[in-house]
Amino acid sequence: MTNDEFLAAFEACTLTRNEWTHAAHVRVAWLYATRAADPLPLVRAGIQKLNATFVRAPGAPPDARGPDGYHETITTAFVLVIAARARAGESFEAFAARNPDLFDRTFPALLAHYSPERLYSAEARVAFVEPDLV
């Protein structure tokens, strides 16, 4: 999918759960960071709207991240980092090649600033918490 097609699918909530990967989250944040003056509200609302379309299969265990998997601090921190690292005119592929730590599901880009206890706390899921390391 082109960036425009991908963003349109995200906004229309037509991405499947299998397509909604960590890399897809990064791509959405990068697209809004490079196209909007204030990307955070767009990313936040879009993720919450898309997550609401995913129905848990009968008998499947609840998502440990919460009812919809949304995490406010991780979302906010990623948008801020992605926006700070974005370069004008750079393709997403070039951005990804330059920032492999953003695509690592263990979140090294955030854990450089947050202790795991703080980042994965219940408080951090529902409201943005400031970093406690750097």
pLDDT tier, 134 (very low <50, low <70, confident <90, very high otherwise): confident
* Residue 9 pLDDT > 80: yes
pLDDT tens-digit readout, 41-99: 999 999 999 998 886 666 666 555 445 679 999 999 999 999 999 999 999 999 999 99
Nearest to 35 by CA among 89, 76, 73: 89
pLDDT score of 63 = 55
Distance CA 78, CA 112 (A): 12
Nearest to 107 by CA among 30, 43, 22: 22
Q: Where are the domains of the chain?
A: 3-126
Distance CA 100, CA 111 (A): 14
- pTM for this prediction: 0.89
